[in-house]
Amino acid sequence: MGRQVLDRLTSSARFVIAAALLPLVALAAASVVMVCSAAIGSPVWGPQDETLPEAVALQDRGEIARQIALGADPNRPGRVRPGMMDNEALTLTPLEAAVGIGRPDLVRLLRSLGAVPSAGEVRSLRCYADARESEARDALVDLSPEPWPDCRDVTLPNRR
């Protein structure tokens, strides 16, 4: 019965049916890839355990705001996996990550969402900005009335 119906279809009708089925086949293939990649521990949509400093390193403003809205501490150091900012794993505060990638807009965003560095952290951030020749340097000027520090004895965030 099915064969008789297919035999009666014109080539243009077969093309329309094939075109209609193509997105379904692509969706099924994508679903298989996503399920298999999640099963082996490497989900397609990225890790579910992204830290706030990693969200900053990836310049994901939405994820930054989401994590802080859900209670993430914008002053707490967290890991940044290798390849996101450096060839090695780093432990940085979100502000340090913003300075490290040279994003003054993210420094301002984090400050508006509650990031408040201590006096020692301000010195470290300023020296880190100098060492990385960061464009975020200007966003650090208003953190403290203190003059820009002499950085010879300051431990930089990526050297802890």
Q: Tally Cβ neighbours within 10 Å of residue 77.
A: 18
Residue 7: how many other CB atoms lie within 10 Å: 7
Residue 128 sits in the same domain as residue 154: yes
Give buried/exposed letters for 42-53 (b at 16+ CB in 10 A, else e).
eeeeeeeebbbb
Q: Does 124 map to a domain?
A: yes
**HSE value, Cβ hemisphere, 13 Å, CA-based, for 5:** 3
CATH code for position 79: 1.25.40
User: Is residue 98 within 8 Å of 110, Cβ to Cβ?
Assistant: yes
Domain range enclosing 126:
52-159
> Quick one: pLDDT at residue 122?
92
**pLDDT tens-digit series, residues 41-64:** 666 765 568 999 999 999 999 999
Q: Which tokens in the block code for residue 113?
A: 């969402």
Q: What is the pTM of this model?
A: 0.70
Give the count of domains, the chain.
Answer: 2
Are residues 148 and 103 part of one domain?
yes
